[in-house]
Structures are given as structure tokens and as C-alpha cells.
Amino acid sequence: MSASLLDSLNPQQREAVTLPHQSALILAGAGSGKTRVLTTRIAWLISTGQVSPLGLMAVTFTNKAAREMLTRISAALPINTRGMWVGTFHGLANRLLRAHHRDANLPQVFQILDSQDQASAIKRLLKAMNVDTEKYEPRKVQWFINGHKEAGLRAKDVEVHDEHTRRLAEIFEAYDAQCQREGVVDFAELLLRSYELMSRNEPLRNHYQARFKHILIDEFQDTNPLQYRWLKLFAGPSTAMFAVGDDDQSIYAFRGAETANMREFEKEFAQGRVIKLEQNYRSHGNILSAANELIARNRERLGKNLWTDAGAGEPIRVFEGYGDQDEAGFIVDEVKALHREGLALSDIALLYRSNAQSRVLEHALFSSGIPYKVYGGLRFFERQEVKHALAYLRVMSFPDDDGAFLRIVNFPARGIGARSLENLQEAAKSGGVSLWVAAQAQSAGKRDAAKGLPAFVNLIEKAREACDGLSLAETLEQVINISGLADYYMNEKDGQDRIENLNELVNAAALFEQDAEVFPTPTLPTSGEGANAGPTPMSPPQPSPLRGEGTNAGSTPINDEGRSVMESFLAHAALEAGEHQAGAGTDALQLMTVHAAKGLEFHSVFITGLEEGLFPHEQSFADADGLEEERRLMYVAITRARRRLYLTHAQSRMLHGQVRYGLPSRFLSELPENLMLPLNKRSAAWAQEPAPAAYSGGGNQGAGGFSIGQNVAHPKFGSGVIVSFEGRGADARVQVRFRDAGVKWLALEYAKLSAA
């Protein structure tokens, strides 16, 4: 049995699987068969009698990976895997706490709070403590608590620098006490409490250190400091630690992953025993050569070089579009061609750095009738922040839309409770009017109130006034700011992605308006206009002037179907959010972020939006570590492709409703030219977009004489390079990537830039 387990392994894999009883670090490159090595190692140890199934522990990061591991072990050996300690960090921590609940000071049947349950528990606590939830927002309190727990810290360990932090620490302590009383633990608590249990209970620690002769860890590069410390508590003097990972694929720093853990493991356990799995079974040689050349530029890496005996394969195709729509059109044409050649759509992936980039791609696919799925996320117009912004637009434009009203009336929170909404709905029902009309009636004479329904009514009417006469894109930008959505998501822990999606929504509006060729867009009714604008309008709703009906209809621009641009845009958003994403079992193109693509592979891969500021992301420009992680992300993206790889970028993109001109990603210049095939020929299907002239900067070009890519100097920020321009005339701004100060936007008129 043990010999047959090894038959399909290459020499390096066999060496890793058959290691004697000692610790080792297995540096497993992309597509090198790491899961096979890990599971075969477990099967080999058991089949050769070196350990019993209950004498080893295997840890991974996802339930899916844990199930796959157990399935492979069951297929290789005639054993019952039910009692084996194979699972995720949190799953095994839960198992430990269940087995020793008394020692952990927990009830035998303690409950686990998911994220929503935890949020509800925190809200209850804040109410009981009479805490001002505007000053201490529940979601921020939740981040504070979880962030400290994931770092291995309790309330007593919090560094208090000011009164605000002191109060947060008090809430943290009270939250822990509440959970203890109720016999519940949150997700972060599982690992922290099991770590504390093992740390303080020496007999228990000795028991598990003696039991587990072998500990195997998958995806070790993704471990955070607490997870590594937790693992070390199980390692006794005779425990062999077998860590499998790839520092070149460490892309989760934002979740607390530490690539330094791999170097520490090599020193503490492996002590020089490092086996590199470099033979790749996924990709052709040109793809691997490109990946190797790119990642070699990172300084902080353990080092390896992927290779394959599958041959060089096709060159890497590189396409530069005039604009993002041009780029999307090229991709659509190529996808159609690949599909005509017999390739399943499900074996083609479109990768992008941030979710906001999917909108232009989705629109092109939708318009071309190509089925697609957004893997690991929602379609653009289904995303929470997009639907919120559109709901504000609907209430401003079509106030009788009760669904849109309910979506945003208390988002962001403005102190409107469930009871208040029930009363409002009863009033609307009894009066036979919309919720908006009922809200206006209840708010009459209370317009200066800072909370509740009066605040919401006042906000909508102020937004209408601010947007009077603006274009559709400008209206959306105002709505996003006035509504509080921008501030709300800006202060979220992971809100950057949502902010980018809101910006992309503005771009979508600008393009839609441009295509409609209707200027200006409809004027929003201000207070006092239209049948529903009065202070006490408890009467049946009347047609909105924005629908092209009523007294103001003559001044409202309409399209060929008699609808306003606003109405047409909202209908367009609803249509694209509707039914086009492929259902289960349908062959469909795969769209996803690079982060979501890790662990997957496809015949053909498009890596899109390869421009400075997009990929690498502009937030990475501030420090070398951020840029190295972006390069690892690009490495992951490249190595998803088996046979064909496309790299695409555009000379210009829409940003905040304006055209932005950018530089090609530095990653393109870091790849070997001899492996690249530039694609310059444009097909008739999408060549109608005119190529823009080189950016002139309007009146500022003659005054400043600057251009994209030019080296410049600034008296405060030092030397840098011009990345892009935005705006025209007196409003023109220049984006400069400074060597020491990072990326800055400067008003061109006052920038004090000089040629370097």
C-alpha cells in the first residue's frame, strides 16, 4: 500500500512525503501538487505505522480544503476519518473547547455567534450601557473587539491613548462579560480562548503535545501571529511540524497574514530542512517564465523557480485599448472566438484587481449576450452600496417608491426605530398615500430635527435643491455625499472597495448620459414643486413631474421612448441587475477579483485593468511592502492560466465621471518582452471608439507644458513622475507619484511643479 502511494510522485514530492520524523518547510509553488503532497504524507505516515489516525493533526483555512483532505485520505486508506483532527483553525479550536469546556469556563452547549449575531449582541450592550451609538457606532465597536482578539489581546491589554479608546476598552470588557453570562462565544473568541486554555493549563498542553506526533499545516503563508502561536502550543519536543506554503502567494496582509511566519518557522522548526516543489503541472512554460521573472523582483522571499515539461506554449497576449470600453470590447471578441473554437465559457476567467472594474466588463458581456457569473461576489448593480445610492436617487426622483424609501430611510442610521416605521406604514395605509407623503406629514414643523423622519425628509429635500440643474453623473456624486453613504463606507473597516464601486456608479451614469445624448438631465423637483411637495400632503399621490407628466413635463428631456434620462438610467440599472447572470449548471464565463481567484485555474485567463493606480493599486505606492504584495497578487493572477494568458489595459478610464489618462502598469514592463505578443489589430465590431489625442490638459498644457510620464519636481514633495490628469481649464488636476511622498493629486494651476 505505502509503495503504491508514492508511484505518481516526482522526486521532490516523494522526498517531502517520505521525510523521517522531523520538522520541515515545504515551499510549494503554484500548481506543484501541494494538496497531493500533504494528503499523501498523512496516508503514508498512517499506512507505514508511524502514527495512528488520532495521533496527527492537520490544519487548513477553509472547510472546503478540510473536506477535500479527508476525502483524499479516505480514498487512499481503508480507515474511518471521523475522529481525526483535520479541520480549520477555528473548527479545531471549537473542538478543543467543546472537549474541555469546564477548563475553558464555558457551558457544555455554548453557542457560537456569527457576525450578525455578534453585531446584535453589541447593539444590546450599547443600549444597556446607555452609550451614544453615533459616537461609538456598533460596527466600529465590533471591529475594535475582533481586531484585538485576533491579535491575541483582551480588554486589559488595550493600549489606552485617549478617552475614546478608554471607553472602547470598557465596552470590550463589558461585552466579554455579557458573552460569558449568556454562554456564547464569537468567531474570534474561539481561537483566542483555546489559545489561552492551552497556555495556562500545563497538564492539558502536555497531553496534546504527547498525543500529536505529527502536525501538518496547509497554506502556512496565510497564518497570522495568533494562529502561529496557537500551533506552537501543540508542538512538543517529539512533534514533527510539516508546514506547506508559498510565500510568493501570500496576498492576505489585510486579514493579518504574516509572511514572516514562514521565515520564523524555518528557524524555529525546520532548521534548514526546506524542500522546494517547483515542477508545475498546470501551466505552459511561457506563463511560468513570466511569473518567475515578475516575482524575482520581490526582495523578501524564500526563493524558488517554477518549471514544467509541458512545453513553452503560446506567447502571452497583450492588448492596449483606447479606453475601458475598447478594452472590454476586445475581451468580448476574444471570448467569442475562444468559445467558437470549442472552449467552454466556464474555462475562461476575467480577473480584475478591484470589484468596481467589473461594471464595464459586465455591461459589455450583457450587451453581447454572453452568460457570465461573478465568482465569490455580487454583480455590480446588486452590490449593497450601489443599490443604496440608486434607492436615494429613486426617492428623490420618484418619491412614491415605497421599496426604495424603506431601503434608505434609516441607512446610514439616523435613529429611526422599528416602531417608528410601523407607525409610519400604518399612517400611509390609512391615508392611502405613499410612505414619503406620510413622512412629510409627520415631519411638518420639525424640519430642524437632527434625527428621525424629519432629518430624512430634510435630507432628501436638501439633496433635491443641491442637484437642481446638474447632470446625471453630477447628481449621483452629490447624492452619494449628501446622503452620508460616502462617509459611512469611508469609515468601514473594508470600505475602500465599496467607495470604488460608488465611484464606478458615477462613471456608469456619465457614460449612460453620454450615450443618451440628452443634456441637461432632468431637473429634480425641489420643495414646493409637484403635487407631493407640500408640507402636509396627506392626499393620494400624484404623478411625478420627472416622469414626463404634469406641469413640468415640457421642460424635461426625454428619450425615444418618452422616458427621462433619470428614469431610463434607473431602468437600465434594474435590467442589468436582473436576470443575465447565468444560473446553476449553465456554461458561463467566470468574473472575479484576483483575491477570489487564488486556488483556481482556467484554460484562458484575462488579467484586466493593468494600469498604475489600478494594478498595482494606488494604495500600495506608499511603502515597499504594499508594492511587493501587489506583485504577489499579479503572480497569483498569472499562474491561474493553464494555456492562454491575456494582459489588457487602457489608455483612459472614467473616474468620478471624468476621463482619466494613466500609465501602463509597471508589471507589464517587468515581464520578458520575448514572451509577449502585442495585439494591435482592432476588429470592426468594437473599433468605433475614437482614439483620443494625447492629453493636452486644455489650457493648462500650454502654460505648464507637462505630459503623462514626465519626471517633475515639487518644492515640498520632491521628485516624482506624472501619472495622470483630471479635469480641464482652471479645474485641472495632476496626479504625481512622488518617490518619497507617495501619490498626490495637485491643482495644476497652483502645483508649483517644475520639469526634472
> Are the beta carbons of 642 and 284 closer than 8 angstroms?
yes
State how far the alpha carbon of 420 is from the alpha carbons of 294, 410, 460, in Å.
58, 11, 18
490: DSSP letter: H
- Do the bridges between strand 372-374 and strand 24-28 make them parallel or antiparallel, or are there none, so unpaired? unpaired
Give the whole-angstrom CA distance, residue 126 versus residue 116.
15
What is the identity of the amino acid at 310? A
Residues 6+ apart with CB under 8 A from 720: 711, 712, 713, 714, 736, 737, 738, 739, 741, 744
500 among known catalytic residues: no
SS3 of 676, please? strand
Task: Out of 13, 34, 72, 223, pick the active-site residue.
Answer: 34
DSSP-H helix ranges across 266-370: 285-295, 324-340, 358-368
Task: Out of 193, 379, 383, 640, pick the active-site residue.
Answer: 640
Task: Out of 189, 218, 247, 611, pick the active-site residue.
Answer: 218
Cα dihedral 272, 275, 278, 282 sign: negative
Residues 6+ apart with CB under 8 A from 526: 461, 464, 465, 468, 533
Residues 6+ apart with CB under 8 A from 640: 349, 351, 597, 600, 601, 602, 605
Give the whole-angstrom CA distance, residue 476 versus residue 513.
12
Task: Out of 219, 258, 327, 504, pick the active-site residue.
Answer: 219
- Rounded (10°) CA dihedral 394, 400, 404, 406: 150
34 among known catalytic residues: yes
Backbone phi, then psi, for 421, in 5-degree steps? -70, -40
61: DSSP letter: S
549 among known catalytic residues: no
324 among known catalytic residues: no
Give the whole-angstrom CA distance, residue 663 versus residue 651.
7
Q: How far apart are the first and last CA of the chain?
A: 70
401 among known catalytic residues: no
218 among known catalytic residues: yes
Q: What residue has cell string 514572451?
A: 675
Task: Out of 12, 13, 35, 475, pick the active-site residue.
Answer: 35
* Proportion of the chain in helix, strand, coil states, percent, rounded to 5: 50, 15, 35
* Strands of 610-695, DSSP E: 641-655, 658-661, 676-679
Task: Out of 60, 249, 442, 608, pick the active-site residue.
Answer: 249
Residues recognised as catalytic: 34-35, 218-219, 249, 640
